[in-house]
Structure 1
Amino acid sequence: MQFELQTPFSELRAQKAIIVYATPGGQLHMAYQHDILATEQGAVLGPGQQVTEQLIQAMQHMNGLRQEQLTLLPPEIIAISGKRIAWTVPGRVRPMALRSNNRSVQAFDGVPLPHPHLLFIAGPGTLHVYALGSSDRPQGDTPLYRAPYMNIFINNQMCRGTVPLPQDPNISQLAQYEDLFFLSNSTGGDVFLPDTIASYQHLLELCQERGHFDPQWLVPTGQTLGDVIQGSRL
């Protein structure tokens, strides 16, 4: 097939053509893409290939046809990008799954206890957990604290073990992340504690006795929310 090509922009050149095939009754049936080839006789169509999803998406973006929907963010969301989400988890009384060789710690498995206010940052297959000193919405200069739990590395990342953390976090999964963290067995590792608290067992006993989590039981990370958000490249 030979044809004449005209474009409204002198710097642009026709590269592909899409031919839509229909039945005699006019029902659209399939579409093929063809490279436009320059020959001595003029422009001709190359062999047809099935239209790819990649080409369709590129056309939508080029012509402004693709309209991205706005997403309503819940108030606990602090920051969000295409790959990571940061949100606050209010401190409250809830059970936690524990697996410890220390019988005194193991005794608290599944026992509802008060927890501090937390900051979760989810990435592809990862979860970082920090503690907050108050229920106020954190700002860039808000100091962050060590999350007082087992299974937290020194870089504040959760040791996932066999926990199936999502590879593509989104805001519909916030409750799922919290369940994965609190209801998956914490099996070991050092818990960051201030000098006034002798052991993790002691911390659990204080939580049970007082009925609330005292921010004085937290250990500073030396970082602010701004430091962490910028460092994680959300």
Structure 2
Amino acid sequence: MIDDARQKCVRPWGSERMDWSIAIVFATLAGPVLAVQAQKLLERERAIKERRLNIFRTLMATRAAMLSPGYVEALNAVPVEFYGSGKKLKAINDAWKLYLDHHTIEGPATDAWAQKRLDLFQDLLHLVSQFLGYSFSKAQLARDIYSPRAHGDLENEQTIIRKGLVSLFKGEMVVPLAVKEFPAAEAGSAELQAALQQVLTDLLQGKKPLAIARDNTEDKPR
């Protein structure tokens, strides 16, 4: 009886061979599909990393020119390209939000405000560099930078000019004018003008009568 049970449990060799054939066929068909999906996943990850690197490069290259269009564009792309729920990604987005909120603070742009803005930006840049595998320190990000003094002066002058023009067009500021001298008139013209003015003054004050001469040419016989 035991032998009969063993014989029933043993699968025939033909059915076992069929199972292996099915597995081979499935692997043959699924292999290229899985390989394509894996390749697409790698390409997607590579593209995301390249976009993040471009943002970091732009921020590094323009960190001395914070009014440049490239800087503004790269900064606005941070929450999109560094989106995610990971701890490091969340830290980057929190630092970006703090930096953005600082620019919405109402009040004059004092030296303390400017230094706070610089500190917040360096915190953001440092987190991005660490996430991308760079070993820059905050001191390096703040110190190792080439910024010609002329560029800073030009940026400050453009800001002053822009604010001045806006205030002028809004009517909040007037342009002071000082007239130092008028062009001298010719001597004869000045004397004639003074004489005419005196005559008109005398007539209006009644000091001199107004003489009217009548033309009698029409009364003469033709």
**TM-score category of the 2 structures, normalised to the smaller one:** under 0.3
Structure with more helix by fraction = 2
| Larger RCO, structures 1/2 (Cα 8 Å, 6+ apart) | 1
Mark the structure with the bigger radius of gyration: 2
The structure that is strand-richer by fraction is 1
- State TM-score, norm by structure 2: 0.23
